[in-house]
Amino acid sequence: MTLLCRVQSVALCSLTRPQRLQKHIFMSVRMCTAKNESRRNWSKETGTRTNHWEWGATTAGVLLGLGSILIFDTHRRKVQAESEKEAVSSHFLPQYTRAEVKKHTNPSDRIWVTYAGEVFDITDFVDLHPGGKSKILLAAGGALEPFWALYGVHKSDHVLEILQEYKVGVISPDDKEEPLDFSDPYSGDPSRHPVLKVNSQKPFNAEPPLEMLTENFITPNVLFFKRNHLPVPNINPDEFQLIVERPPGAKQGKPLKLSLKDLKTKFSRHEVTVTLQCAGNRRSEMNAIKTVKGLDWGAGAISTARWAGVRLRDVLSDAGYTENTPNVQHVQFEGLDQDVTGTKYGASIPFRHAMSKDHEVLLAFEMNGEELPKDHGFPLRVIVPGVVGARNVKWLGRIIVSEEESSSHWQQNDYKGFNPNVDWDTVDFSSAPAIQELPVQSAITEPRPGEIITPDEDDGKVTIKGYAWSGGGREIVRVDVSLDGGKTWKVADLIGEEKKGLVWAWKLWQLEATIPAEDKEITIICKAIDSSYNMQPDTVAPIWNLRGVLNNAWHRVSVTVARDQH
């Protein structure tokens, strides 16, 4: 074994640096492939298929490939350190502004990134990146720190040593961030991850890249889609109080007021995994049919988190309500976010839904084991499982139980669906009910539209990934995938929580399929079926509406197939 390693080392030393890196990547990928093949076997004991793409599997593959590169590259540079070292002090390196770095995002202009105040030209490394070209290009023209925070594999001295080889300059010390304009109501908004696809800055609305969205069953907080209607409020948690209006005629005339401490100590803690989806998810596909009004969301306005807090029904009970309280039909939620006129965001859900033991409506103060982030409602928000995201009011300040729905614009004149022939001259928002539960949904997250895909050289297969979800607690029971535009269909493997009763979280899915040898361009389609056998419509046009909401048509992705000519 030792002799073999020495022979391999000699052979590698005869190659150029890019050739050596590619050789290490190839060897590592082959090792990962062999291991993954063994994981595909069906378990005789359980009758279930081993999930070789479970949490961390992707990172493990990257670790192996990257580790090979780093070990060899570090060894090479140590051996040749004295002869090849070009020790240049940062004092003498060119200085660049961040605006100049942002101009370098493609090979023709060179691909630059920054780290710890230094500038690196990584153009020659992009194709060699073990984590994939698409992942590293997400950081092009910007800082590496936010991305390395997501992928712990990079927190290594070896990685930093390799990165230094690509250094071309430093960030100018005069490049300071502009001071905040405190007259701007959005000046207090939190910082966001640069990988997000921004649909509007003020208010901030953004979605994660699809290929990152389904890397994990639980969406990391920084990647969870952001849907804000107004500026993010700055709330002192020590002074925060939730106000809950009492029933008419209650002995205690004054509203119930609860601090964060009260909520955490007076009521039982409850956790639930819930997928939230914006009603405008996939609106861009409706825009392609005919222009609609609203943010141009792709398929990323959906995410999943583990929420913790207290049950809404427990708080309402403490305020004096029972399931039989007369003359109440709705529970209104009022946020602490407001516009310049003082108008606050508001929404409501049916009272019976709020009081149901099965529906698990939550007043949440934690998200994925952490304090609620500012963008997601710190210090308190409503989580209404199975219901459109607009009713999951953030920065919750007041709860009102009433005979009427919320009178807010977002309940009465928004988030409603209409006939395709209704336009802005004829629309009557009072004629349609407010959206609550959402229809069955699915989308393809990998490959990306327009991507050039390369089938496996051994079996000609490609891997297709995506998500599927349905509102109202209906479980996804099947996802069908077609690689020939809908002529034939295959059933994907599903990954998700095992839960009895109502199911609030999505299912991730994956399919490994063989592409016919003659195909050079293919259209991949997915469609989901839920536990009530609701199915997605095949096209967008019949469900088009002027607000571009409720798009759940079959999701289509067209790609080019690249084949090895050797």
Active-site residue flag, 415:
yes
In the set 96, 115, 193, 278, the catalytic residue is 278
pLDDT of residue 252: 76
> Which amino acid type is present at position 102?
K
Q: What is the pLDDT of residue 177?
A: 72
What is the torsional sign of CA 257, 261, 267, 272? Answer: positive
The question of whether 154 is a catalytic residue gets the answer yes
Domain covering 441-561: architecture: Sandwich (2.60)
- Evaluate if residue 14 carries a pLDDT over 60: no
Name the active-site residue from 24, 193, 227, 282: 227
Yes or no: say if 493 and 511 are a contact pair by the CB < 8 Å rule: yes
Active site residue: 115, 345, 415, 467, which one?
415
What pLDDT is attached to residue 322?
95
| Omega before residue 516 within 30° of 0, cis | no
The answer to which of 115-129, 483-497, 524-538 has the lowest mean pLDDT is: 115-129
Tell whether domain 227-431 is in CATH 3.90.420.10: yes
**What pLDDT score does 28 carry?**
41
Is a pLDDT exceeding 60 seen at residue 345? yes
Amino acid at 366: E
**Mean pLDDT score, 149-162:** 77
The average pLDDT across 131-137 equals 75
Instruction: Give the confidence band of 434 by pLDDT, cuts at 50, 70, 90.
Output: very high
Q: Would you give the distance in Å from CA 341 to the centre of its chain?
A: 32
* pLDDT for position 56: 44
Per-residue pLDDT tens over the stretch 45-61: 334 433 443 444 444 44
pTM exceeds 0.85: no
| Backbone conformation region of residue 418, classed left if phi is above 0, alpha if psi is from -120 to 50, else beta | beta
Strongest mean pLDDT among 51-60, 368-377, 496-505 = 368-377
Instruction: Give the Å distances, CA to CA, from 526 to 51, 106, 477, 518, 542.
Output: 20, 32, 14, 22, 18
Least confident span in 49-53, 283-287, 310-314, 543-547: 49-53
Given pLDDT bands bounded at 50, 70 and 90, which one contains residue 543? Answer: very high
Predicted local distance difference test score (pLDDT) of residue 565 = 55
In the chain, % of residues over pLDDT 90: 66
Do 349 and 436 meet the contact criterion of CB atoms below 8 Å apart?
A: yes
Residues 395-420, mean pLDDT to the nearest whole number: 97
Q: Would you tell me which CATH number, out of the four given (3.60.70.12, 3.10.120.10, 3.30.1280.10, 3.30.930.10), belongs to the domain 2-171?
A: 3.10.120.10
| pLDDT, tens digit (0-9, with 9 covering 90-100), for 58-87 | 444 444 344 444 444 544 454 354 334 444
Percent share of the chain, pLDDT over 70 = 82
How is residue 122 annotated by DSSP?
A: -
CA–CA separation, 278 and 199 (whole Å): 13
- pLDDT tens digits for range 185-243: 999 999 999 999 999 999 999 999 999 999 999 999 999 999 999 999 999 999 999 99
Structure confidence at residue 90 (pLDDT): 53
The catalytically annotated residue of 154, 193, 313, 381 is 154
448 has catalytic annotation: no
Distance CA 203, CA 295 (A): 11
pLDDT score recorded for residue 363: 98
Mark whether 129 is an active-site residue.
yes
d(CA 346, CA 410): 7
Residues 376 and 64: their CA atoms lie apart, in Å, by 35
Catalytic residue among 20, 104, 129, 555: 129
Q: What was the pLDDT predicted at 493?
A: 98
What is the amino acid identity at position 494? Answer: L
345: annotated active-site residue:
no
Phi, psi (degrees; rounded to nearest 5) at 471? -80, 175
Task: Parse the chain into domains and list their residue ranges.
Answer: 2-171, 227-431, 441-561
pLDDT range class, residue 518, cuts 50, 70, 90 = confident
